[in-house]
Chains A and B, each alone.
Chain A
Amino acid sequence: MNFAKNKWLILGLVTYVVIIVARLSDQIGNGIPQFLISSSIIACIAFHLLHFRSLIPKSGVSNVEKLFINRTVSGFVCLFVALLPVIANSLGLHFKAVQALQLAGFYALFWFLGYFLMGVRKLGQLNERSTQHGLWDVLFAFLLVSSFYYLKPVQAYKLLPLVFVLSSSLLVISLSLRIKWIVSIRRKVKWLSILFLTTLIMLTISMVQIVGYYDSLQGIILYPLTGNIYFIILILFLLVYSIISILALLFNMPVATVTEQRIEEIRSFQEINRSVMSKAPIDDTLQLLFGKCFNDMNADAGWLMMKSEEAEEKEAEDETGENETFYTNHISQEDVEKYNSELKLRKLVKDYPNKKHHYLGNLPGDLENDESFVFKSLLIMPVFVDKVLLGNICLMKRLVNSFDDYQIQLGMSYLNQVGLAFENNSLTQASIEAARVKQELDIARKVQKQLLPTNFPESDYFELAAYSESAVEVGGDYYDFILFEDNRLAVIIADVAGSGASAAFYMAHLKGVFQSLGQLKLPVSTFLEFTNEALSRCLDKRVFITLTYCLFDFGKKKAVYGRAGHTPVLFYNAESGQGEYLVDKGLGLGIIRNKSYSKYVKTYEKGFESGDMFVFFTDGINESRSGISHQEYGTERLLNCVVKNANGSAGVMIDEIVEDYYGYVDSKMFPDDHTIVAVKIK
């Protein structure tokens, strides 16, 4: 026995033993002052109340049945103890022995009431809000205070018990009405609770009767039980609480069925969801769905028809049912076929308007009275996922018109849930896939960035600078250069039609072509012809590439260039301080894919002096629009920007242009890849 845990009970028992000894010694009022006994009784009650209160667990009650069983068993034991003095008396035992047994019986009643109270208190903890702790403590306090009635001076006030009982009854009622625990228990337990509570009421009443009987005859301790407010309030509370609980349980019973059914339905929804989410085979999910519909809609029989994969292709054979798998419940396969053929169910299923269910409240024509057709109500529900019919569920009942609207709706909700769950699943999959693609594209972007040179050579003859950015992760703009040992420089800028991944692949291809053909120091026209031929073999028929290829000869101070349909070269003349676009003829690559392309190849020469500048760019620069005016950035603005910054280095000028460009265009949406390259003559 744990002393610390049961200290209050031990103290209570010790005081009661003191009372017993005093009582059996017949010394009350003589040797022992009455006052002392009264105080002992109060102390005994107080200790017991404290003991019961200390037993109330902090957590909730897990098992209501166990709680009631414990109370009832101990109730019967206590009743037996309470009966002992009566038996002993009839057996003619010694007066003192009977008296001792009476004291034990009295204690049995006292203890049982306290134990019962503690049980009720525990029940109150189910679904409890914090404020109720207070009310229960007030009840305990009331009981404690009421025990002071044992004191002689207090008894002088005759009205006091009445006032006390009346005022406590308010508390009793307010506590009795808080019986939320009855909602949270299962139906079976509700019936058990009614049974146990009735038994407990009986036990209480019988015990009070028995103990009250010998108490009134001989007066066990000081005053008769009936005149004791502690017992009156406690018994009153327990009876009122039990009776209200029983009534509430009875009234709650019809609702309980519905509540439990709803819980079951929610569970079904979850199970269906889980089945889809776990990517169980579709047939398993359909069978689960069928089982749920069957149970929750109280069907008498039914079947699940699943279309096999090939069914889609062999639409014509549907009438025969060859590509169907059946899963039946309480009905044979032959009977299913009988219903199918007699009611032309396959045709019905095929002709579903708007994917709705089909409900036959009664069988048509003679079938209604046909004994061999046992089931008179039929509900067929098609299972659609992503607008594809996977099969259908047919539920049957024996009675005519026995599916109600709620059941039909429930069934349809289950079916919809399957569709929704599949949709959710595919959305989740899609977003995972999208994230993966994004990651791949980021890698592609990094790889493509490496295809564009970022380190520019130091030279005594020129400065080179460039900037390039794609509209999406990867783009179709390209620039590159080769510096030959004889002080010649080849520069290329290109734009693949279209954008995104396909353009990026052609751009990479072009880099290969430039890096190999470029090394050959071919004349510009030959370079363009060969490049056209190399590209024509791989470009998609709708794709073409525009480019400008420019060969600088710093010894001869001239540049030879060919413009294959690309945006014109911007030339800045340092001496005049003016800029101009070199608008010449030239056709894009991949437009004509045979030798006749050479007819369209034109090359031009441009002499240059120190300080002059060549600016190459793609149409993403001049054609990007402002977010405010919706006007294009334009070649005019570009030209002005170049002229304004012509005195700085090529690098500074590119920075200035890029800054001006981003300041102008709608930064949220670049419709095209944009690239700019500048070559400044030293």
Chain B
Amino acid sequence: MKKLTIDQNTEEGLLLLKIGGELDASTSIDLDGVINSALEDNKINILVNCKDLVYISSAGFGVFVSYIRDLAARNGKFVLYNLNKNVYDTFKILGLDDLLLIAKNEREAKSYFA
């Protein structure tokens, strides 16, 4: 069973998260914890690098969904980038592509915060 990996970095007031592996019901709790503590530290601009993310389940989406409203209320945002096709298709089916900012690469992702 593949685990979820989460690397954190802070860069010019942005929180960079690099997630890899499988994001499902059990691993989504870890990601939830990371994002939750980031919000507590007032880090509301979050970039998520999904380069190594191979699978995302509905519970995985749940994590993003649950923070969309929180972030919007505080004028912060999520930007996801480097999504592989599988993951992107699932985002799209769910309609999240209209709601979350999805960028091709890091440069484009950062431009959302400029």
Contact of B65 among A495, A544, A564, A585 (CB under 8 A): A544
Answer yes or no: B58 CB below 8 A from chain A CBs.
yes
Contact of A544 among B57, B61, B98 (CB under 8 A): B61
Chain B residues closer than 8 Å to A546, beta-carbon distance: 58, 94
In angstroms, how far is the closest chain B Cβ from the Cβ of A596?
10
Q: Say whether B69 contacts A544, CB under 8 Å.
A: no
Query: With A and B bound together, what is the CA distance between A498 and B66 in angstroms?
Result: 13
Q: Say whether B95 contacts A497, CB under 8 Å.
A: no
Query: With A and B bound together, what is the CA distance between A253 and B32 in angstroms?
Result: 71
Question: Could you give, for residues 522-565 of chain A, a 1 whenever the CB lies within 8 Å of some chain B CB and a 0 otherwise?
Answer: 00000000000000000001111010000000000000000011
Answer yes or no: A391 CB below 8 A from chain B CBs.
no
Q: Say whether B93 contacts A591, CB under 8 Å.
A: no
Which of A542, A590, A600 has the most C-beta atoms of chain B within 10 angstroms of its own C-beta?
A542
Q: Say whether B65 contacts A591, CB under 8 Å.
A: yes
Q: Say whether B69 contacts A497, CB under 8 Å.
A: no
Task: Describe B's contact surface by its main secondary structure.
Answer: helix
Task: Describe A's contact surface by its main secondary structure.
Answer: loop
Q: Say whether B66 contacts A586, CB under 8 Å.
A: no
Answer yes or no: B96 CB below 8 A from chain A CBs.
yes
Chain B residues closer than 8 Å to A495, beta-carbon distance: 58
Answer yes or no: A499 CB below 8 A from chain B CBs.
yes
Known: A542-B32, A591-B65. A585 touches B98 (CB 8 A): yes
Answer yes or no: B59 CB below 8 A from chain A CBs.
yes
Chain B residues closer than 8 Å to A672, beta-carbon distance: 57
Chain B residues closer than 8 Å to A567, beta-carbon distance: 93
Q: Say whether A543 contacts B96, CB under 8 Å.
A: no
Chain A residues closer than 8 Å to B98, beta-carbon distance: 585, 587, 600
Question: Could you give, for residues 565-600 of chain A, a 1 whenever the CB lies within 8 Å of some chain B CB and a 0 otherwise?
Answer: 111100000000000000001111011110000001
Q: Say whether A587 contacts B58, CB under 8 Å.
A: no
Answer yes or no: B14 CB below 8 A from chain A CBs.
no
Contact of A565 among B32, B57, B63, B94 (CB under 8 A): B94
Which of B61, B63, B66, B93 has the most C-beta atoms of chain A within 10 angstroms of its own C-beta?
B93
Contact of A588 among B32, B59, B69, B95 (CB under 8 A): B95
Q: Say whether A541 contacts B66, CB under 8 Å.
A: yes
Contact of A587 among B59, B66, B69, B96 (CB under 8 A): B96
In angstroms, how far is the closest chain B Cβ from the Cβ of A472?
11
Answer yes or no: B62 CB below 8 A from chain A CBs.
yes
Contact of A497 among B32, B59, B99 (CB under 8 A): B59
Known: A498-B25, A499-B25. A542 touches B66 (CB 8 A): yes
Chain B residues closer than 8 Å to A593, beta-carbon distance: 69
Instruction: Scan residues 49-86 of chain B and give those whose CB is less than 8 A from a CB of chain A.
Output: 57-59, 61-63, 65-66, 68-69
Chain A residues closer than 8 Å to B68, beta-carbon distance: 591-592
Query: In the complex, how many residues of chain A place their beta carbon closer than 8 angstroms to a beta carbon of chain B?
Result: 26
Known: A542-B32, A592-B69, A593-B69. A497 touches B62 (CB 8 A): yes
Query: With A and B bound together, what is the CA distance between A541 and B28 in angstroms?
Result: 14
Q: Say whether B95 contacts A543, CB under 8 Å.
A: no
Query: With A and B bound together, what is the CA distance between A495 and B93 in angstroms?
Result: 13
Chain A residues closer than 8 Å to B62, beta-carbon distance: 497-498, 542-544
Which of A544, A568, A672 has the most C-beta atoms of chain B within 10 angstroms of its own C-beta?
A544
In angstroms, how far is the closest chain A Cβ from the Cβ of B30?
13
Query: With A and B bound together, what is the CA distance between A498 and B63 in angstroms?
Result: 11
Query: With A and B bound together, what is the CA distance between A588 and B100 in angstroms?
Result: 13
Chain A residues closer than 8 Å to B93, beta-carbon distance: 565-568
Contact of A592 among B57, B61, B99 (CB under 8 A): B99
Question: Could you give, for residues 81-108 of chain B, a 1 whenever the CB lies within 8 Å of some chain A CB and a 0 otherwise?
Answer: 0000000000001111011000000000
Chain B residues closer than 8 Å to A592, beta-carbon distance: 68-69, 99
Query: With A and B bound together, what is the CA distance between A499 and B66 in angstroms?
Result: 17
Chain A residues closer than 8 Å to B61, beta-carbon distance: 497, 544, 588
Q: Say whether B95 contacts A585, CB under 8 Å.
A: yes
Residue of B nearest to A599 (CB): B98
Residue of A nearest to B24 (CB): A671
Q: Say whether A591 contacts B25, CB under 8 Å.
A: no
Query: With A and B bound together, what is the CA distance between A592 and B94 in angstroms?
Result: 12
In angstroms, how far is the closest chain B Cβ from the Cβ of A86?
99
Chain A residues closer than 8 Å to B32, beta-carbon distance: 542
Question: Could you give, for residues 476-514 of chain A, a 1 whenever the CB lies within 8 Å of some chain B CB and a 0 otherwise?
Answer: 000000000000000000010111000000000000000
Q: Say whether A591 contacts B96, CB under 8 Å.
A: yes
Q: Say whether B94 contacts A588, CB under 8 Å.
A: yes
Chain B residues closer than 8 Å to A619, beta-carbon distance: 58
Query: With A and B bound together, what is the CA distance between A543 and B63 in angstroms?
Result: 9
Which of B94, B98, B99 has the most C-beta atoms of chain A within 10 angstroms of its own C-beta?
B94
Q: Say whether B25 contacts A586, CB under 8 Å.
A: no
In angstroms, how far is the closest chain A Cβ from the Cβ of B95?
3
Chain B residues closer than 8 Å to A499, beta-carbon distance: 25
Residue of A nearest to B62 (CB): A542
Query: With A and B bound together, what is the CA distance between A601 and B58 in angstroms?
Result: 20
Known: A499-B25, A592-B69. A542 touches B95 (CB 8 A): no
In angstroms, how far is the closest chain B Cβ from the Cβ of A568?
7
Query: With A and B bound together, what is the CA distance between A544 and B58 in angstroms?
Result: 8
Residue of B nearest to A585 (CB): B95
* 6 pairs, A vs B, C-beta closer than 8 Å: A495-B58, A498-B62, A542-B65, A568-B93, A590-B65, A591-B99
A-B pairs, 7 with minimum CB distance: A587-B95, A497-B58, A542-B62, A565-B94, A542-B66, A541-B66, A565-B95
Task: List 13 other contacts, CB 8 Å, given A542-B65, A565-B95, A672-B57.
Answer: A495-B58, A498-B59, A498-B62, A542-B59, A542-B63, A544-B58, A544-B62, A586-B95, A587-B95, A588-B61, A588-B95, A591-B99, A592-B68
**Interface of B toward A, CB cutoff 8 Å:** 25, 28, 32, 57-59, 61-63, 65-66, 68-69, 93-96, 98-99
